[in-house]
Amino acid sequence: MKKKIIGIFAVLILAGAAGLFSGYKWLQSYAETALTIQQDAYFTLPAGTGRVGLAQLLVDKKIVENIKPFPWLLRAKPELAGFKAGTYKLTPGMSIKDLLLLLRSGKEAQFSIRFIEGLKMQDWLQLLAEAPYINQTLKNLNNSDIAERLEINDPKHPEGWFYPDTYNYTAGTTDISLLKRAHERMKATVDEVWLGRAENLPYKTPYEMMIMASIIEKETALDSERDKVASVFINRMRIGMKLQTDPTVIYGMGSQYNGNITHKDLATPTDYNTYVINGLPPTPIAMPSVASLKAAAHPANTPYLYFVADGKGGHTFTTNLQSHNQAVRSYLQILRAGK
């Protein structure tokens, strides 16, 4: 009788062990089940979400089809629990196990935004407003408000004060924090370029150098020309000649600019119209690149006082008005021939 009872217990134990093994294998198989997504997707896990909440989110977002074994999986494999809040990038072929390991790692999805040199502050604000997963805090703020939040005080205008580059961020990053990163980099860059500038330049402050750099940025996209363009404006400043650069007129016109500049526009006074005012405009007119900052700090040594587009992507530089007018006529002939 004893032997029979022992045998029965042995069978039950073996059966239980087999059941446990079978259940474990089943959960392992479930963990390796692929997510139902067919393309890259972003999944946001809010702070404070527990196991039940996570399971419900995965069903609602159609990321996992069968969620019933999910609680058992987390009990059997506690190393897959302990997930962290954030926004994560999911890719086709990922398994439930891959998903849980990703959520536990805290390696949130990285997004990027490219701030382009030569654009204005308003253009950058538009890029920020359209970028995904950014916490928008700058709506309805004007330039003065933004300058105040970034502690830009003299003058209280943010134009030009941001370093053009691609910036990575995670979901929930604020727009102001991205601008602050760009601002800190630009401040450091301007200070560095200013310290290494050439001697006897007609700038009183690093800010004036940055204003000049913004004009150079708008006048040419060719690195080989930047220092020549800088030399023209430096030469003009040294002899008291007006800068007479169209991009400053356009900036001063603001929303009134429709793509064309008329003689009336050139003669209409604004704070930025360098056909009317003497010297530099009061602020930058765009975000300058490092190349333009360096050109402003190290202009070429030339006798040039004029330049005009040559119709081939570059410019013709001249020393006197007569030669300049001839270069203008040549450019106009190229334009007419191309029509």
52 within some domain: yes
Query: Is there a single domain that holds both residue 217 and residue 269?
Result: yes
Residue 22 reports pLDDT greater than 70: no
Query: Is there a single domain that holds both residue 80 and residue 149?
Result: no
Query: Is there a single domain that holds both residue 75 and residue 202?
Result: no
Say how far apart CA 284 and CA 124 lie, in whole Å.
14
Q: HSE on the CB side for 327, CA within 13 Å?
A: 19
How many degrees, rounded to 5, is the angle at CA 290 between CA 284 and CA 292?
A: 60
* Residue that wins the pLDDT comparison between 23 and 96: 96
Task: Tell me if residue 167 falls in helix, strand or coil.
Answer: strand
Q: How confident is the model at residue 24 (pLDDT cuts 50, 70, 90)?
A: low
Closest CA to 315 of 253, 245, 249, 265: 245
8 within some domain: no
pLDDT for res 26: 77
Helix (H) or strand (E) holding 152: none
Q: Average of pLDDT values for 241-249?
A: 97
pLDDT for res 12: 40
pLDDT for res 155: 81
Domain boundary (161, 186, 211) is at: 186
74 within some domain: yes
pLDDT for res 154: 75
Query: Is there a single domain that holds both residue 141 and residue 180?
Result: yes
The residue segments making up the domain with residue 164 are 111-186
pLDDT for res 277: 97
* pTM for this entry: 0.86
Please say whether the beta carbons of 244 and 307 come within 8 A: no
Q: How confident is the model at residue 27 (pLDDT cuts 50, 70, 90)?
A: confident
- Phi, psi dihedrals of residue 58, rounded to the nearest 5°: -65, -35
280 within some domain: yes
Domain boundary (105, 134, 156) is at: 105
- Phi, psi dihedrals of residue 24, rounded to the nearest 5°: -65, -45
Query: Is there a single domain that holds both residue 265 and residue 279?
Result: yes
Q: Average of pLDDT values for 51-67?
A: 92
Q: Average of pLDDT values for 52-57?
A: 92
What's the mean per-residue pLDDT of the chain?
A: 90
Query: Is there a single domain that holds both residue 205 and residue 298?
Result: yes
> Poorest-confidence range of 150-154, 185-189, 281-285?
150-154
Residue 20 reports pLDDT greater than 50: no
Q: How confident is the model at residue 1 (pLDDT cuts 50, 70, 90)?
A: low
Q: How many CB atoms lie within 10 A of CB 120?
A: 19
Query: Is there a single domain that holds both residue 153 and residue 200?
Result: no
- Look at the block and give the residue holding tokens 């990575």: 168
Query: CB under 8 Å, gap of 24 or more: what pairs does 63-67 form?
Result: 63/35, 63/36, 63/37, 63/90, 63/99, 64/33, 64/35, 64/36, 64/96, 64/99, 65/36, 66/30, 66/33
Helix (H) or strand (E) holding 90: strand 86-90
Instruction: Tell me the one-letter amino acid at 143.
Output: N
Tens of pLDDT, residues 289-335: 999 999 999 999 999 999 999 988 899 999 999 999 999 998 888 87
Query: Is there a single domain that holds both residue 260 and residue 322?
Result: yes
Cα distances from 308 to residues 197, 305, 312, 336, in angstroms, run: 27, 11, 11, 16
Domain boundary (72, 105, 138) is at: 105
pLDDT for res 28: 83
CA 305 to chain centre: 36
> Poorest-confidence range of 10-24, 233-247, 268-282, 301-315?
10-24
DSSP one-letter code for 91? -
325 within some domain: yes
Share of the chain above pLDDT 90, in %: 76
3-state helix, strand, coil in the chain (%, to 5): 50, 10, 40
Tokens linked to 140: 């309805």
Query: Is there a single domain that holds both residue 147 and residue 206?
Result: no
Query: Is there a single domain that holds both residue 237 and residue 313?
Result: yes
**How many domains does the chain fold into?**
3
Tens of pLDDT, residues 137-180: 998 899 999 999 999 987 889 999 999 999 999 999 999 999 99
